[in-house]
């Protein structure tokens, strides 16, 4: 069984749109959860712990459902590649934030939808954007500039390094999406695809935490542990839903929806941390909505 060009370019229906918006809200709150735990648990240790625990949960779930785990289905190589890309993405994001600002990071990370669209032209026949879809994608990206500000040239070499790391993370995110869509991973359960990513990510982020000298100095607070539980039990497992959507719908259109995530993060910061909301945020939300309407219009 192979994917047809039509399946590569299938637009999102109403149910799929609702699900992906819910995913973006969940991922937006994850940014707040990471911040709440940072005082007690360093970032790569957070990532390693949540990924390791999520691995056990996915394994138990797959065993309960009777899903094959070690079957010879031709997914080993693409699965390992996706896992390496997944781990690299988080490693670059978490460490890159030490060198560049969060607002700059958001803009560079959300180059990923553009990378997906460009990659789809090469690897996914039929999943291509017309002028209206490109206009919608550009409008959604413009909302990020309005919400977070156009980045000025890097102030120093360290900041430039952080910016480059964020662009690398965006490329890794996009590559993961394209590999899943174009490989044998599109023919297995999303739980198995997620399992590959989790299993390979754990040693990558664990070695990163060790290399950068991260450690937990004291027993984490209840807030930090609750935040870690949210990342493990909710956020990590949403990726299985995301992978299922990637297989079924247009990767380019799905990726465009991820522009909602940083805006959801801003809203979550306002609700949980009391961060202020500005008129620019309201305009950014309107632009993203308009952009997504254009992206999902028939060509």
The pLDDT value recorded for residue 9 is 58
Predicted confidence (pLDDT) at residue 297 exceeds the cutoff of 80: no
Q: What is the pLDDT of residues 176-196, one digit of tens each?
A: 999 998 889 988 888 999 999
Predicted confidence (pLDDT) at residue 18 exceeds the cutoff of 70: yes
- Domain count for the chain, please give it: 1
Q: What is the pLDDT of residues 239-262, one digit of tens each?
A: 889 988 988 888 888 888 988 888
User: What is the domain range of residue 287?
Assistant: 11-295
Q: Let me know if 41 is exposed, middle or buried by CB neighbors in 10 A (0-12, 13-18, 19+).
A: buried
The pLDDT value recorded for residue 1 is 39
Q: Is position 4 within any domain?
A: no
Per 3-state DSSP, what percentage of the chain is helix, strand, and coil (rounded to 5)?
Answer: 75, 0, 25
Q: What is the pLDDT of residues 144-171, one digit of tens each?
A: 888 777 777 777 888 889 889 989 999 9
Strands (E), 19-79: none
35: Cβ contacts below 8 Å, ≥ 6 apart: 269, 273
Q: Is position 58 within any domain?
A: yes
Q: Is position 280 within any domain?
A: yes
Q: Is position 135 within any domain?
A: yes
Predicted confidence (pLDDT) at residue 81 exceeds the cutoff of 50: yes
Q: Is residue 55 a contact partner of residue 199, using CB atoms and an 8 Å limit?
A: yes
The pLDDT value recorded for residue 2 is 44
Closest to 205 in 3D by CA, of 11, 31, 43, 8:
43
| DSSP type of residue 40 | T
Predicted confidence (pLDDT) at residue 83 exceeds the cutoff of 90: yes
Q: Is position 6 within any domain?
A: no
Q: Is position 95 within any domain?
A: yes
Which one is predicted more confidently, 199 or 236?
Answer: 199
Q: CA quadruple 104, 209, 47, 270: dihedral positive or negative?
A: negative
Q: Give the gyration radius of the chain's Cα atoms.
A: 19
Q: What distances in angstroms separate CA 45 from CA 49, 130, 286, one per listed residue?
A: 6, 43, 37
Out of 3-7, 12-16, 20-24, give the one with best mean pLDDT.
Answer: 20-24
Q: Is position 3 within any domain?
A: no
Q: Is position 1 within any domain?
A: no
The pLDDT value recorded for residue 115 is 92
Predicted confidence (pLDDT) at residue 10 exceeds the cutoff of 70: no
The pLDDT value recorded for residue 165 is 92
Predicted confidence (pLDDT) at residue 5 exceeds the cutoff of 70: no
Mean per-residue pLDDT over the chain, rounded: 86
Q: What is the pLDDT of residues 84-133, one digit of tens each?
A: 999 999 899 888 888 887 778 888 888 899 999 888 888 877 777 888 88
The pLDDT value recorded for residue 8 is 53
């Amino acid at each position: 069984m192979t994917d047809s060009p039509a399946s590569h370019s299938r637009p999102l229906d109403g149910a799929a749109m609702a699900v992906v918006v819910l995913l973006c809200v969940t991922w937006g709150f994850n940014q707040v959860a990471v911040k709440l735990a940072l005082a007690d648990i360093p970032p790569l240790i957070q990532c390693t712990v949540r990924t390791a625990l999520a691995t056990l949960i996915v394994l138990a779930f797959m065993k309960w459902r009777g899903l094959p785990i070690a079957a010879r289905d031709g997914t080993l190589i693409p699965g390992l590649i996706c896992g390496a890309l997944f781990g690299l993405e988080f490693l670059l994001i978490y460490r890159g934030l030490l060198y560049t600002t969060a607002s700059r990071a958001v803009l560079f990370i959300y180059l990923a939808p553009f990378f997906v669209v460009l990659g789809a032209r090469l690897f996914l026949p039929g999943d291509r954007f017309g002028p209206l879809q490109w206009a919608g994608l550009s409008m959604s990206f413009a909302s990020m500039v309005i919400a977070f500000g156009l980045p000025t040239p890097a102030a120093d070499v360290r900041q430039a390094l952080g910016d480059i790391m964020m662009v690398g993370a965006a490329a890794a995110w996009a590559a993961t999406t394209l590999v899943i869509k174009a490989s044998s991973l599109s023919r297995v359960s999303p739980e198995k695809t997620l399992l590959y990513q989790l299993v390979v990510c754990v040693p990558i982020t664990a070695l990163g935490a060790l290399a950068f000298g991260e450690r937990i100095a004291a027993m984490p607070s209840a807030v930090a542990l609750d935040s870690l539980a949210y990342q493990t039990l909710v956020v990590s497992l949403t990726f299985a839903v995301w992978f299922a959507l990637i297989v079924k719908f247009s990767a380019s259109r799905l990726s465009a929806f991820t522009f909602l995530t940083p805006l959801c993060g801003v809203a979550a910061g306002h609700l949980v941390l009391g961060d202020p909301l500005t008129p620019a945020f309201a305009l950014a939300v309107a632009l993203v909505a308009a952009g997504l309407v254009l992206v999902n219009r028939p060509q």
